[in-house]
Amino acid sequence: MPQFLLELLSEEIPARMQPGAARDLERLARDHLARVELAFEGLTVFAGPRRLTLVVEDLPAARAHRVEERKGPRVGAPESALEGFLRSAGVAREALTQRDGSYFARLERPGRPTAEVLGEMVEALVRSFPWPKSMTWGTGALRWVRPLRRILCLFDGVVVALCVDGVASGDLTEGHRFMGSREPFPVRDFDDYRQGLARNFVVLEAAERRRRILDGARSLCASRGLELVEDEGLADEVTGLVEWPQPLLGDMDLEFLSLPREVIGASMRTHQRYFSLSAPGAEGLAPHFITVANIEAADGGALIAAGNARVLKARLGDARFFWDEDQRTSLENRLEKLKGVTFHAGLGSLFERSVRMEALARAIAPLVGADADMAGGAARLAKADLASGMVAEFPELQGVMGGYYARAEGLDDAIAQAIAQQYKPQGPRDSLPVGPVPVAVALADKVDTLVGLFEIGEKPTGSRDPFALRRTALGVIRIAIDSGARLPLRSILAYAGVGCAVSVVRNMAKSRLNNLTYKQAIADFADPASEFAAADWLERHFEALHTAGPAAALAFWRGSGDAAWIEEILAFLADRLKVLLREQGRRHDLVDAVFALGDDDLARVVARIDALAGFLESGEGANLLAGYRRAANILTAESRKGPLPEGPPVLLAGSSAPEIALLEALGTALPLLDRALARDDFTKAMGALAALRQRLDAFFDKVLVNSPDAGERDNRLRLLLQVGAAMGRVADFSMVTG
């Protein structure tokens, strides 16, 4: 069956836009073909430095003529329903027929040659393509990422005629800008197109260009006894820069090896798109680099490599200047500059953020086994390198440079590590901070960000998360779980909220106090004469709470009636935890069952989830869950008749043996459960519950709960209530779905 081939040839497409453009081209083509009801067997897209290509296999020669009958509303239905049907069907009222008490519309769609339909699709696609950034050029109104030069458009080997703002379709394409044929060359189909590009020094497939880059780079490294520093992002970017990749090995001046390896790597990567190299067993980088040329040079690339080395020398000379100059000023002295750098309009400057982080890190430190003074000092200096020349030049080195500068000043190595690792983890596969002080500072950084932005209403939505708060929340979760730290999150969040409130109020006072939460706080605690006096009072009040500590902060928010935001953030963390555990193969319903207990200690929550999962996978756990559900059903049914009896169950005269046995089993299990939960030994806690299983099964088999004797009935209901309460101390079993 016929094949459709489309190539949109333009000036250079930015590498970062190419993957998205390929996805958009595929999506738009699929949607359009589905909308016009053209079936096909396969659809493939390609993106490169100068071209987007679409291939659709096995399309029909024409769209078939089709007639269908659509049923509408019943005769006598409201006029609005009938008008809605007429609009959706695209017919006039006179065209409707009546049958069996309903209206029917006959819809006829004439057949059309597929080439006509495809021409309309291409024009609509080009005019509406969703480039993140685009431009106009020449005299037309068409917007494209860069000037659009050619449209190759073939269906079954024949040109699909169309013209978009002066760019007419044809069967011609172009090869490599310098190495290919001087003249455009014609193609017949996709195989001819791909082979023609290859003859003209263009590798169409991005995966093949990437393979050639990495294989060539590794081969060059092996020839010199070196190793390539793997960089997936750089490999992707360079793949989008070259059509005929030619890796070359260049040399770097030895004098620059005294610079931190991150500085050398950033200078190579950011400005020059070079790959860094290392020597096996060595800590630093090797004095060499890999660059990827887009042409085959007659001298094997020696001149290109030498030119790139000269450019790199100039770049590293700039980096050397920043490195030397930055060390003339201590991190402490850089803090003053942070007062003029806004973190967020609602949360003040980076200096205010440093103050908040210092207090928060001090509060977290004892919980993670860190020295409070050391953690507070590290957090205070954590953002100071943002005022350095090196970080201004290479923003991706924030934190890293602060760690180097801290060591150069002679600060404790734990402080330097904490500054360097404060942003970890920056993604799901990034490493975690190592050591108590780095853990305290990294948590302070993330909790302050999370709480501050939630507090001023910058929450993620279903489609937007501009401040990457989901990633921030996942960082808190991973650190808490990995460190095993026992973090009372409600108190920590409340304390961070008080610190952020100081900044919020301070910034509101610059204009007007317009936040209802803080107005309510004033109404609850003071009666100042003016809004500016109110803001001053509230700022001092929050500062006093900040000094008082996390417990006082939590008490304040609860007392003010505005603690809902704390639970909102906890729920946000719970959602992120579910995603993480689901990716690890755990069940989300168990997360709900444990979080329902109100526990805010993530490490303990995960330990409880794991113990619960193991328990439910055993026969004892599964049977006990069935017994719990049977008891819950009985209690629910009885509660509809009236209030359930209160108090503990007792041994009544004439109690049956199974009833006595379950009561005795509870008497034995509850102390064991108390001791296990006090030690956070959830496996033993589950074992204590498992001991109830056989007694509970026998109770249901032999005992009539709804006894005609009111005393027996109430006592048996109290017995089931106590079983449910015991199980409810481990998890909310009503939320377990499996």
Confidence of residue 289 (pLDDT cuts 50, 70, 90): very high
> What does pLDDT average to over the chain?
89
Reported as type and span, the H/E element at residue 483 is: helix 469-483
Contact (CB, 8 A) for 621 and 690: yes
Residue 71 has pLDDT above 70, yes or no: yes
Among left, alpha and beta (phi > 0; psi -120 to 50; other), residue 293 is beta
What distances in angstroms separate CA 22 from CA 18, 121, 206, 403, one per listed residue? 6, 16, 11, 40
* pLDDT the model gives residue 516: 46
Q: Return the minimum-mean-pLDDT range out of 277-286, 486-495, 554-563.
A: 554-563
Reported confidence tier of residue 406, pLDDT bands at 50, 70, 90:
very high
Question: Which of the pair, 207 or 510, is modelled with greater confidence?
Answer: 207
The CA–CA distances, whole Å, from 399 to 111, 253, 338, 390, 419 equal 64, 27, 15, 11, 5
pLDDT (tens digit, 9 = 90+) per residue, 585-611? 888 888 888 888 888 888 888 888 888
Q: What is the DSSP string of 424-457?
A: ---STTSPPP-SHHHHHHHHHHHHHHHHHHHHTT
Helix (H) or strand (E) holding 323: helix 302-326
pLDDT of residue 538: 62
- CA separation for the pair 441, 372 (Å, rounded): 10
Domains observed in the chain: 4-62+114-199 (3.30.70), 66-109 (3.30.70), 206-326 (no CATH), 332-580 (no CATH), 619-735 (1.10.730.10)
The three state secondary structure string of 372-429 is HHHHHHHHHHCCHHHHCHHHHHCHHHCCHHHHHHHHHCCCCHHHHHHHHHCCCCCCCC
The model's pLDDT over 13-29, given as tens digits with 9 standing for 90+, comes to: 999 999 999 999 999 99
Q: What is the pLDDT of residue 537?
A: 60
d(CA 119, CA 412): 68
Contact predicate 271/316, CB 8 Å: no
Which position has the higher pLDDT, 400 or 522? 400
Q: What is the pLDDT of residue 617?
A: 86
In this predicted structure, the answer to whether residue 115 has a pLDDT above a threshold of 80 is yes
Mean pLDDT value of segment 121-127: 94
Of 468-477, 564-573, 622-631, which range is least confident?
622-631
| Rounded Cα distance, 407 and 381, in Å | 13
**Distance from C-alpha of 477 to C-alpha of 734, rounded to nearest angstrom:** 25
Residue 593: in which H helix or E strand, if any? helix 588-595
Q: With cut-offs at 50, 70 and 90, classify the pLDDT of residue 525.
A: very low
Average pLDDT over every residue of 104-111: 78
Tell me: pLDDT of 150 over 90. yes
Higher-pLDDT residue of 69, 414: 414
Q: How confident is the model at residue 511, as a pLDDT?
A: 42
The pLDDT of residue 450: 95
690 pLDDT band (50/70/90 cuts)?
A: confident
Averaged over 698-713, what is the pLDDT?
Answer: 86
Q: What tens digit of pLDDT does each residue of 438-492 get?
A: 999 999 999 999 999 998 888 898 878 999 999 999 999 999 999 888 899 999 9
- For the segment 680-698, the average pLDDT, to the nearest whole number, is 88
pLDDT-derived band at 402 (thresholds 50, 70, 90) equals very high
* pLDDT for res 529: 47
Q: Which of 216-230, 339-353, 477-491, 637-651 has the highest mean pLDDT?
A: 216-230
